[in-house]
Amino acid sequence: MRRLRIQLLFVASLAAPIGFSLLLVLVLDRPFADDLRVGPAPYQEGALARYWSP
């Protein structure tokens, strides 16, 4: 029983960062979508304004 707990602890300690990384990839995959999106206005009005072609 003791070894089973240790094995479960090791598996969970490996599965948690892998799962978090996959979730992070899915969340950051589309930064210009959903409610919390980044619009083009900062790029049009900021430092890149001279390079922006409408």
Band of the pLDDT at 28, cuts 50, 70, 90? confident
Mean pLDDT of the chain: 83
pTM: 0.53
Which amino acid does the sequence have at 25?
Answer: V
pLDDT greater than 70 at residue 24: yes
Pair of tokens at residue 40: 């083009």
Dist CA 18 CA 53 (whole Å): 41
Pair of tokens at residue 15: 């599965």
Gyration radius of the chain over CA positions: 21
pLDDT of residue 27: 83
Helices (H) and strands (E) in the chain, counts: 2, 0
Dist CA 4 CA 48 (whole Å): 57
